[in-house]
Structure 1
């Protein structure tokens, strides 16, 4: 049985470190764990006034926090609507929220992530402090349970070596695109924004898909970081190399002319006995 992590006392690390805020921003369950949360009728957003009521501060504290951290809050779902967009939003709520924003010309909305982001940043709220304690305790438990470790798996051929060996005339990008489009590998190119606001590949980029895992796997010596993310691309399963080659040839990829020299049954297309001798007919011969 695992031990419960002791409380984390320095909750202000979240107000100071955007990296830590990014690492814990998905834990929106903290909002309901710490205090009952009322949402707008769409059950997706709260207003500035509702955010202030949740954190038990005046609205000016929320306005000030937004001015200082607008970009980060917008990345986490905060938005301001007005004009036709505001009229459409009112219509979509069926008038149920009129008492909350009747007569306003613009409306600032916070998603759950954005509201949690407010709690990560708001220093003068007891509710926000409890939110930060929850987030850091949860993060500490995860770090104790998921330590960086090496994952041992059977060795496999890298996709690059596989291409050179069997499909050398196929450009690397062409093979990658084929593996993405046909559903062998997960394509998460430039799908994640890091703590510095830079575009990065997603954590599962080039992982095998559920279908692709028949022929591809995560490699031996693959590392799992402290947040549980396995890093690096897939390799071809050592017991399925030739099966995958056959499949890709059937899908139209041009194989090497020298594939007949591969030390396997792959190169063998058919055989016949001619005058007592076995004649083998091979691909690329």
Structure 2
């Protein structure tokens, strides 16, 4: 029988620690538990105005958080539509033939993950504080319920989260350049914007490369598919290949965090780490 610990009171740990945010980012179900969540007609995205309404703060407050945390929010699904992409989205979200975004030249969208990430970062919202309380309490219960010898595959671990857990000492640019050379398609700045400049990522940017990329990465099941049937989104690490990928990247010269050891000649103990609400086993150098 599991005894649930008292509620965690220091919810600001999530606003201060990106590692903690990464560990709880998959718990998007918390959003519906705290408050009814409204989404656009596609059932996947919310606008900036909708995000502000959910957290009961002003739009300027949301924009301020975006300005300080743009890279992290983008890695969790926030993106801006312009030009052809925006026109396609307007058609897809029409209600009774009427577009929702008349006269809009750009549109920032939040996925559930990005909305949850926003709540992890907002300090001026009572709703966001409730979201963080739920996240920390759920994380504490998961750590108590899962015994150390159990191994539950991580689900939908993004490359960003993977790096934070296993290769945080590797500079971000070095890590991504390696993935783009070996595992993921690099289509940065290969598509033209409304002015004809090559400043937009290709439609398959971040998808697994055939062969080596497919072995360790996959496209998530909940990707947004545009009007032309193109899956839009980035790859995630295959749940059953997390440790294999760690060992492979170490063999290729990336420096893993100190607690990771894959030297065959040394004895190793099985240990575990809770990531995204799931326990991942890895080898700790003896």
3-state SS, counterpart of residue 282 of structure 2 = coil
Task: Check whether the contact 1:37–1:54 (CA below 8 A) recurs between aligned residues.
Answer: yes
Residues 1:20 and 2:20 are matched in the alignment: yes
- Normalised to the residue count of structure 1, the TM-score between the two structures is 0.58
Spell out structure 1 runs of 4+ moving beyond 4 A: 95-100, 196-203
Other-structure match for 1:194: 163
Other-structure match for 1:115: 115
| Unpaired segments ≥5 residues, structure 2 | 152-156, 180-215, 217-236, 245-267
For residues 93 and 2 of structure 2, the distance between their equivalents in structure 1, rounded to whole angstroms, comes to 46
Higher relative contact order, structure no. (Cα contacts within 8 Å, ≥ 6 residues apart): 2
Q: 2:240 aligns with which of 204, 228, 231?
A: 204
Other-structure match for 1:80: 80
User: Cα offset for 1:104?
Assistant: 1.0
1:38-97 residue CA offsets vs partner (Å, 9 max, x unmatched): 000000000000000000001000111100000000000000001111111111123469
3-state SS, counterpart of residue 62 of structure 2 = helix
Corresponding pairs, count: 186
- Give the aligned CA root-mean-square deviation in angstroms: 3.0
Structure 2 vs 1, CA of residues 86 and 8 (structure 1 numbering), >3 Å: closer, same or farther? same
Structure 2 vs 1, CA of residues 75 and 126 (structure 1 numbering), >3 Å: closer, same or farther? same
* 1:228-267 mapped onto 2 (5 Å cutoff): 228-231=279-282
For residues 13 and 191 of structure 1, the distance between their equivalents in structure 2, rounded to whole angstroms, comes to 20
Residues 1:222 and 2:275 are matched in the alignment: no
For residues 150 and 95 of structure 2, the distance between their equivalents in structure 1, rounded to whole angstroms, comes to 55
For residues 70 and 97 of structure 2, the distance between their equivalents in structure 1, rounded to whole angstroms, comes to 25
Other-structure match for 1:31: 31
- Normalised to the residue count of structure 2, the TM-score between the two structures is 0.58
1:198-242 residue CA offsets vs partner (Å, 9 max, x unmatched): 56974632779xxxxxxxxxxx9533334411225xxxxxxxxxx
| Unpaired segments ≥5 residues, structure 1 | 152-187, 209-219, 233-285
Structure 2 vs 1, CA of residues 226 and 95 (structure 1 numbering), >3 Å: closer, same or farther? closer
Structure 2 vs 1, CA of residues 75 and 118 (structure 1 numbering), >3 Å: closer, same or farther? same
